[in-house]
Amino acid sequence: MNSQILFKLSFVDYSIFVVLFLITFLFVLYGNRKKHKDRDSLLDYLVLGRQLTLPFFITNLVASWYGGIFGVTKIAFESGIYNFLTQGLFWYVAYLIFAFFLVDKISMYNAMTLPDLTKKLFGKKSSQIASVLTFFNILPVSYVISLGLFFEMAFGLSFLHGMILGILAIYIYSLFGGGMRGIVFADFIYAIVMCTAVAILFFYSWYIWGGYTYLIDKVPATHFTLTGGESISSVLVWGFIALATLVDPCFYQTCLCAKSPQIAKKGIFISIVIWFCFDICTTFGSIYARAYMPTANPKHAYLLYGMTILPEGLKGLFLAGILATIVSTADSFLLITANTLSYDIMGLRGKKMIWMNHFSFIFIAVVSILLSLYFEGDIKMAWKTLGSYMAASLLIPMLFGFKFPKLISDNTFFIASLLSIVGITWWRYQDHHGFTQHIDAFYIGLLISFLVIMVSLRSVLLGFIKKYLP
């Protein structure tokens, strides 16, 4: 890949790009200086002392949820508004469920991480398996891939060198910026920049090309169907993966930082509105890219399209917005994965845990880069492979635990999750023919965890039947 975008940038574009990230770094330093010296350092490092206010809650949640923008825009480029359904609407439903049914319950336990919450709900074994699943689920593989693609496309670096450079920049400000505090203050700037960037491309495209009548003549008809030419089974898999929000460590971590449950709920509702606008812009921006350059590589088309049609000045802002979208998620995932390794798996506390995070971060970065190379830069495949394990294995046990506290034992949770992992892995490596080839491994894992829970609750179910049924 040559640096075909690099030569189209003017001095103004470079200046805007550099200044925006300089402002972000200075804001992170400012946030670290605002830290209360008398507050518990570990509490501040992990959950910002539970003092996250509404504006910062919104920007952190919004910014930390869109790092795989090249994956999203690739889906929209290839399948149109199917992307808005699978990467938008399904997720909004999950966010609303989280806000209405889980926020209040989460706040009751004063947990520091998702595995810590699992321990308080079920027990030590459950926490251990939740820690392992959390670690692999939020390994920022797809976002590291996005970093590699960005620097490869924008500055002509190799895919590997692009990933390394991006992670190095995140390492500097996230760990030396006070942990979660550095992430939150960086995300405040990132959220503004990324939303502005995608909105500019959408509205500029509308201005120069026109709306629906321009697109309908230049893209496949399936781009304006909800399934995008995919099977219903394939569509529904994304629906269940979206429910992974209910067990997503990043989502939980932001809510654990909130000053109150009311702030968390209100923040989620406002964030949904912002996400809706963002998804409209990225989906239709990608469809415009398909109409304008139908033979472009889907991985790069959205970025290349923006850098081709936007005027001087806006190119620099758009480029900064794309990088902000990636980095704002990658930093949260890298930090939370490091926390999971140091705090939950290794059991370290205090300053030992904070210092160990420096080494954990490097280890996680190396693992993420190796897995990025294994997936050969395929963000969609990385999402479905790593994301499905967490959702299928933890979703049913966690929801039962919230609804019926103490009804599910530590051993039941552990066995349900473990057998679900085994079932998913086994199904993926089988040769499937006929009907079974349409059954995703995710469904198998979900079914196994559900059956284990039902078997463990058989005496409760039998008692209910005897009491209420004739």
3-state secondary structure string across 393-418 = HHHHHHHHHHHCCCCCCHHHHHHHHH
Of the two residues 253 and 29, the one the predictor is more confident about is 253
- The angle formed by the CA atoms of residues 146, 372 and 20, to the nearest 5 degrees, is 25
pLDDT range class, residue 67, cuts 50, 70, 90: low
CA dist 304 and 306 (Å) reads: 6
Structure tokens at 2: 């040559």
Alpha helices in 54-211, H assignment, sequence order:
54-63, 69-79, 82-84, 90-97, 103-107, 114-121, 124-137, 141-155, 159-175, 180-209
* CA torsion angle 74 296 368 130 (round to 10): 10
- SS3 (DSSP) at 258: strand
- Asked if 388 and 380 count as a contact pair (C-beta separation under 8 A), the reply is no
Nearest to 393 by CA among 131, 143, 121: 131
Structure tokens at 174: 């996230």
* C-alpha separations of 287 from 126, 230, 300 in Å: 44, 17, 13
Burial 245-267 (b: 16+ CB within 10 A, else e): bbbbbbbbbbbbbbbebebbbbb
pLDDT range class, residue 1, cuts 50, 70, 90: very low
**Per-residue pLDDT reduced to its tens digit, 212-265:** 888 988 998 888 888 777 777 778 777 877 887 888 888 999 999 999 999 999
- The angle formed by the CA atoms of residues 345, 348 and 349, to the nearest 5 degrees, is 135
DSSP one-letter code for 227: S
Stretch 373-398: mean pLDDT, rounded? 74
Nearest to 191 by CA among 332, 65, 33, 330: 65
* CA torsion angle 343 424 64 53 (round to 10): -60
CA dist 295 and 260 (Å) reads: 50
First to last CA, the chain: 71
pLDDT at 250: 87
pLDDT at 320 over 90: yes
* C-alpha separations of 66 from 50, 146, 230, 278, 330 in Å: 24, 11, 23, 9, 9
Instruction: Give backbone dihedrals phi and psi of 212, rounded to 5 degrees, phi first.
Output: -60, -40
What is the pLDDT of the chain when averaged over all its residues?
A: 85
* CATH homologous superfamily, domain 6-377: Sodium/glucose cotransporter (1.20.1730.10)
Looking up tokens 């812009």, which residue turns up?
Answer: 281
* C-alpha separations of 109 from 349, 405, 459 in Å: 19, 12, 28
pLDDT range class, residue 376, cuts 50, 70, 90: low
**Per-residue pLDDT reduced to its tens digit, 163-210:** 888 888 888 776 666 788 888 999 999 999 999 999 999 999 999 998
> Which pTM value belongs to this model?
0.87
CA dist 3 and 156 (Å) reads: 4
CA dist 380 and 373 (Å) reads: 14
CA dist 343 and 329 (Å) reads: 21
CA dist 76 and 202 (Å) reads: 14
Determine which helix (DSSP H) or strand (DSSP E) holds 7, and give its type and residue range.
Answer: none
Domain ranges for the chain: 6-377
Nearest to 392 by CA among 242, 218, 174, 194: 242
CA dist 327 and 319 (Å) reads: 12
Q: What is the CA radius of gyration of the chain?
A: 22
- SS3 (DSSP) at 52: strand
pLDDT at 2: 43
pLDDT-above-70 percentage for the chain: 90
pLDDT at 132 over 80: yes
